[in-house]
Amino acid sequence: MSLTRLIAGHIRGHWRPYAASALMLSTIAVLTVWIPRQVGHVVDALVSHRLAGWDLVGQLGLLVLAGLAIYLLRVGWRLALFATAYELGRTLRMRLYAQLTRQGPTFFHAQRTGDLMALATNDVDAIEMAAGEALLAAFDGTLTLILVLGMMTLGIDWRLGLAALIPFPFMAYAFWRISNHVHVAWADSLKRFSALNQQVQDSLAGVRTVRALGLMKRSREQFGELARDAGGAAYQAQRWEAMFEPAVGLSLSAATVIALGAGAWLVGTNAISIGQLTAFTMYLGQLIWPMFAAGWVLSLLERGRAAWSRLHPVLDAPDGLVDTGTRDVPAHADIAWDHVGFQYPGMAVPALADIALTLAPGCTLGIVGATGSGKSTLLRLLLRQYEPTSGSVRLGGVAAPEIRLDALRRALSWVPQEPFLFSASVADNIALARPDATREQIAEMAELAAVHDDIARLPQGYDTMVGERGVTLSGGQRQRVAIARALLAGAPVLLLDDALSAVDSGTETQILDHWRELRQRHPERSLAVVSHRLSAVMEADEIVVLKQGRIIERGRHDELIARGGWYASQWRYQQLEASLDAA
Please give the residue that has the higher pLDDT: either 566 or 130. Answer: 566
Average pLDDT of the chain to the nearest whole number:
82
Dump pLDDT digits (tens) for 197-225.
Answer: 777 777 766 666 766 667 777 777 777 88
- State whether residue 342 is helix, strand or coil: strand
Q: What pLDDT does residue 360 have?
A: 92
The predicted structure's pLDDT at residue 541: 92
Mean pLDDT of 543-556: 93
Write phi, then psi, for 360 (nearest 5 degrees): -80, 155
**pLDDT single digits (tens) 428-439:** 999 988 888 999
Residues 6+ apart with CB under 8 A from 488: 430, 431, 433, 434, 437, 441, 442, 445
DSSP code of 533?
S
**Range from 80-94, 324-338, 359-373, 423-437 carrying the lowest mean pLDDT:** 80-94
| Residues belonging to the chain | 583
- Span 477-481, average pLDDT: 89
pLDDT of 251 higher than 80 = no
pLDDT level of residue 173 (50, 70, 90 thresholds): confident
Confidence of residue 3 (pLDDT cuts 50, 70, 90): confident
pLDDT at res. 216: 74
pLDDT given for residue 204 in this prediction: 65
- Is 60 exceeded by the pLDDT of residue 583? no
Pairing mode, if any, of strands 412-415 and 493-497? parallel
What class does CATH assign to 84-315? mainly alpha
* Sequence-separated (6 or more) residues with CB below 8 Å from residue 131: 6, 7, 10, 84, 85, 88, 304
pLDDT confidence band for 109 (50 / 70 / 90): confident
Percent of the chain with pLDDT over 90: 18
Q: Per-residue pLDDT for 511 more than 80? A: yes
pLDDT cut 70: percent of the chain above it = 92
- Cα end-to-end span (Å), the chain: 69
**286 in Cβ contact with 37 (< 8 Å):** no
CATH architecture of 335-416+493-582: 3-Layer(aba) Sandwich (3.40)
Cα gap 9→5, rounded to integer Å = 6
Say how far apart CA 77 and CA 136 lie, in whole Å: 9
Q: What is the average pLDDT across 572-576?
A: 87
Q: What is the pLDDT of residues 299-352, one digit of tens each?
A: 788 888 888 888 888 888 877 677 788 889 888 889 999 999 999 887 888 999
Predicted confidence (pLDDT) at residue 444 exceeds the cutoff of 70: yes
Structural contact between residues 171 and 291, judged by C-beta atoms closer than 8 angstroms:
yes
Q: What is the dihedral of CA 173, 177, 178, 179, to 10 degrees?
A: 100
What type of residue is 13? G
Those residues whose C-beta lies under 8 Å from the C-beta of residue 465, and which sit 6 or more positions away, are 423, 424, 425, 472
Chain centroid, CA 57 distance in Å: 58
Distances (CA, A) of 558 to 242, 367, 537, 547, 567: 79, 15, 12, 20, 10
Q: How do the domains of the chain map onto residue ranges? A: 84-315, 335-416+493-582
